[in-house]
Amino acid sequence: MNLSHFPSPSYILDQDALLCNLEILSDLQKQGGCSFILALKAFAMPSAFPFIRPYLKGVTASSLNEALLGAQDFSGEIHVYCPAYKDTDFYPLCDLGTHLTFNSLSQVERYLPNARGIGVKTSFGLRVNPEYSDVRTALYNPARPGSRLGVTASELNGSWPEGVDGIHCHNLCESKFEALAKTWEALKANFYSQIGKAKWLNLGGGHMLTEPSYDRKGFVSLVREIKQEFPNLDLIFEPGAAVVFNAGYLVTTVIDVLTSKHRPVAMLDSSFAAHMPDTIEMPYMPRIRGASTTDVSNHCYDLGGSTCLAGDFLGPYYFGRPLEIGDRLLLEDMMQYTMVKNTTFNGVDLPCIGHWSREGGFSLVREFGFQNYRERL
């Protein structure tokens, strides 16, 4: 892979790696008898949808815009969930969505009777909070104390709203199988009678099914166990990160090298804050091809982003040789939560978007400039 062939900065989808992930997910669907749908909040790249459509049953949308994108560019089932619905969005979402999940009992009471009265055919669900999660970062933990996401067992008090067909539970983030198994135990402990009445159970996203160490046999076994215990229950999962795990890059260029009493800083033409916000919010340090975060015998640098935000940097990274102006860097696993969260803060350009495969090489999908910045203001 010759990095000089790519624009800088740019997000590059690795089509070969994407298809490998999709084959894994397709096999798990068949073995378990469950459904996978793409979580657009994690990855929404219309030029990639033709590769994904043959493998997944549809999409999950968290807004009217995502639902419109799913309807226009993906097709299949559209599962909708918003923490709260606006009057102006709710009925258009019913028209688009095959499934729609409420976040609270008050929203059920506000919208469901009228929706049923006018003949809305959408299958309605209710999000529940199992009060369990393995996610340690509070910002990403939907089940943390005081969470506004989902109804607890104590709120239901053994009841279930009439006309609600499904249960939605999302409490994981890049989690292993063991967290799913514990989630199921928490759901059974808190919502067993409600599960028995439901037509479908959506166990959300956060399942890193394509990560090599994920216990896929355990996943299939658990899904079959659930299906055996509740044979009339459709099981749905919403992978986002798992679809594009290790399936893309961010290519960036060193445009200056600063000396510092602390350590040198290699300034980039991309921004962690604007183009890779999860690196600061989560936080985590992305892998960089040819670099290490542990080999202190090598040349040490912080990497500086292109905005004036003081915290727009990451490090330390260790390289086998000194970095120079013009060097290209390849940041790995950069498809999830990048394009969907990036901004033009400081007026920085958005990275270009492209595809790459071993057989077809590189193709540019889109590039951005002033007009894209101007339209967002």
Beta strand pairing status for 58-61 and 299-304? unpaired
Q: Which CATH superfamily is domain 33-237 in?
A: Alanine racemase (3.20.20.10)
pLDDT at position 260 is: 82
Res. 95: pLDDT tops 90:
yes
What's the token pair of residue 126? Answer: 């209710």
- DSSP H helix total and E strand total for the chain: 11, 18
Beta strand segments in 203-297, E: 234-237, 248-258, 265-268, 291-292
Domain with CATH 3.20.20.10 in the chain: 33-237
Type of residue at 281: E
Tokens 């062939």, residue? Answer: 5
Q: 103-116 b/e with 16+ CB inside 10 Å = b?
A: bbeebbebbbeebe
- CATH number for the domain running over 3-11+248-334+342-375: 2.40.37.10
Please, which pLDDT band fits residue 323 given cuts at 50, 70 and 90? very high
User: Would you tell me how many other CB atoms lie within 10 Å of the CB of residue 154?
Assistant: 9
Give the phi and the psi of residue 153 in degrees, each rounded to 5. Answer: -60, -35
Beta strand pairing status for 328-332 and 248-258? antiparallel
pLDDT at position 212 is: 97
Say if residues 74 and 59 touch (Cβ distance below 8 Å): yes
Tokens 């999950």, residue? Answer: 60
Beta strand pairing status for 361-366 and 352-357? antiparallel
pLDDT at position 297 is: 86
Q: 326-337 b/e with 16+ CB inside 10 Å = b?
A: ebbbbbebbbbb
pLDDT digits (tens, 9 = 90+) for 3-17: 999 999 999 999 999
- pLDDT mean across residues, the chain: 96
Give the phi and the psi of residue 7 in degrees, each rounded to 5. Answer: -65, 160
Beta strand pairing status for 35-36 and 234-237? parallel
pLDDT digits (tens, 9 = 90+) for 124-138: 999 999 999 999 999
Helix (H/G/I), strand (E/B), else coil: 196: helix
The answer to whether the peptide bond before residue 316 is cis (omega within 30 degrees of 0) is: yes
- DSSP secondary structure letter of residue 231: T
Q: 346-367 b/e with 16+ CB inside 10 Å = b?
A: eebbbbbbbbbeeeeeeeebee
Helix (H/G/I), strand (E/B), else coil: 306: coil
Tokens 């009439």, residue? Answer: 162
Domain with CATH 2.40.37.10 in the chain: 3-11+248-334+342-375
Q: Which residue has the higher pLDDT, 22 or 262?
A: 22
Residue 86's Cβ-count burial label (10 Å; 0-12, 13-18, 19+) is: exposed
pLDDT at position 261 is: 84
Please, which pLDDT band fits residue 346 given cuts at 50, 70 and 90? very high
Distance CA 36, CA 52 (A): 11
Res. 275: pLDDT tops 90:
yes
pLDDT at position 94 is: 97
